[in-house]
Structure 1
Amino acid sequence: MQDLKGKVILISGASSGIGRATAELLASKGAKIIVNFRSNEESATEVVYHIKEMGGEAIAIKADVTIKEEVNAMVEHAINSLGKIDVLVNNAAGGIRQSTFIDASEDLWEETYKLNITSVLLCSQAVLKHMIPKGKGKIINISSTAARIGGAGESIHYAATKGALNTMTIGMSRELIEHGIIVNGVAPGVVETPFHEKFAPNDDRLTRMSASIPIKRIAKPIEIAECIAFLASESSNYILGEIINVSGGR
């Protein structure tokens, strides 16, 4: 049963795409949501408004999740406003820009790693300061099937960070379970989000990608959110260190 009533859930990068769908779905299941955003305040405000319109509770907090001071301030703000954080969804990520491996600059490599991996470290450490004393909590890391296929379309740098995130998720799960913290990951395939609109900007490419998926279509953000909701709920309490593919069989 995916009843999240009373849970307080922080979602990084929740102003659009999978993050937004997750925020709205988890709120519909009774959770109180912290909508993190970096620059898209208008969309983050819309998410909060929509949740409140449904009868839920949410707040939006601006923070660059690659900057430790901003992450710590966000978590403190969340705790002061809603009293606790039960679940962290490390969703904020990106490919920055496309590049062949041969032409990838050190700056691109480091910037992508900072956004997709360092952010997970900073957000998790900040939240764990509050979860560990309680002896319970959940962290859900949003990875990608790109980690398994090496990254298509000049995105090896992005895929490499998601491979690192998978390893990080397994390691976190083993270290943190002694504190009662359950860590798992979700690996979406191709999803109808601004990310894929940016990295697959023409219909032909999306059509080719769809054809390579056994289910013959790309996913909707809500389909990824449903898996996240399961991992956030009590129904998944015996699942640990898993990376669940939600990819239509790709």
Structure 2
Amino acid sequence: MESLHGKVVLITGASSGIGRAAAELLSSKGAKIIVNYLSNKKGAIETVQRIQKNGGDAIIIQADVTIKEQVNAMVEQALASFGKIDILINNAAGGIRQSTFMDASEELWEETYRLNINSVLLCSQAVLTHMIPRKEGKIINISSTAARIGGAGESIHYAASKGALNTMTIGMAKELIEYGIIVNGIAPGMVETPFHEKFAPNEDRLSRMSATIPIKRVAQPIEIAETIAFLASDASNYILGEIINVSGGR
């Protein structure tokens, strides 16, 4: 097992789904975890309790990752607790709501980009302020296969934001490697999380969408977390600016 002993990891949106699975898995490999959440305090507490039950070290920090002042305060609190941040996982994201392209308002597009793009900008900049002087660190951006296929019906705004995130990830990787910081992304396909429960609540629709996946099933959060753990480890140190699809072949 590739060890992350002594590493400190900040995961945004870690109260459920992929974020929670990553928090638990990275903790099991020796990392100290900062669990960020916005509104699901109960879920964040459960994440930390599960980590602590297995002997891990984790703290909770509430912050809206679209607001610079709150992001900076979160990072300062994390540094006060653990002294450093080695790995940032930009996981917080959302589709806001479904809409056809013709019905999508400017406000919906702006809100989607604020959550899926601005949050990555703000969190990365805040953490990089401390990573760059140390000349080491890793940033992992959680994208989506929607970026490549245009979204799965009434979600072009979400898909477009994830396409922008892919481009952003590649650009960050090229610029930040000068400082010893490695940036990569992961593009999950359909994953059994609260996100897809919200946007594909109809069981028949979910079954139809699952049928389009060559492996014929949706992923479990732990299957995405395993790739996050790989990118967080030294085993991936020669991988740079990649967007790894974890999609069952979709």
1:94, distance to aligned residue in structure 2 (A): 0.1
Determine the C-alpha separation between the residues in 1 that align with 2:209 and 2:34: 33
Match of 1:169 in 2: 169
Per-residue CA deviation, residues 81-136 of structure 1 (Å, 9 max, x unaligned), is: 01100000000000000000000000000000000000000000000000000000
> Following the alignment from structure 1 to structure 2, what is the Cα–Cα distance between the partners of residues 118 and 84?
23
Give the corresponding residue for 1:84: 84
The whole-number CA distance in structure 2 between the counterparts of 1:42 and 1:177 is 37
The residue aligned with 1:64 is 64
Counterpart for residue 53 of structure 2: 53
Counterpart for residue 24 of structure 1: 24
Instruction: Please report how far the alpha carbon of residue 152 of structure 1 lies from its aligned counterpart in structure 2 after TM superposition.
Output: 1.1
How many residue pairs match? The answer is 250
SS for the counterpart of 2:36 is strand
- CA distance in 1 between counterparts of 2:201 and 2:44 reads 24
For 1:30-52, what per-residue CA distance to the aligned partner results, in whole angstroms no more than 9, with x for missing partners? Answer: 10000000011111011111101
TM-score scaled by length of structure 2: 0.99
C-alpha distance in 2 between matches for 1:42 and 1:221:
19
Instruction: Give the match for residue 156 of structure 1.
Output: 156
Query: What percentage of residue pairs aligned between the two structures are identical?
Result: 80
Structure 1 residue 147 and structure 2 residue 147: aligned?
yes
> Quick one: distance in 2 between partners of 1:172 and 1:183?
7
CA distance in 2, matches of 1:10, 1:163: 23
- Aligned partner of residue 20 in structure 1, secondary structure: helix
Structure 1 stretches of 4+ moved >4 Å: none
**Deviation per residue, 1:53-88 (Å, 9 max, x gap):** 100000000000000000000000000001100000
- State the secondary structure of the residue aligned to 2:210: helix
Distance 2:42 2:2 in 1: 30
Partner of 2:241: 241
The amino acid that maps onto 1:108 is L
RMSD across aligned positions (CA)? 0.5
Return the alpha-carbon distance in structure 2 between the equivalents of residues 133 and 80 of structure 1. Answer: 17
CA distance in 2, matches of 1:214, 1:83: 45
Counterpart residue type for residue 85 of structure 1: I
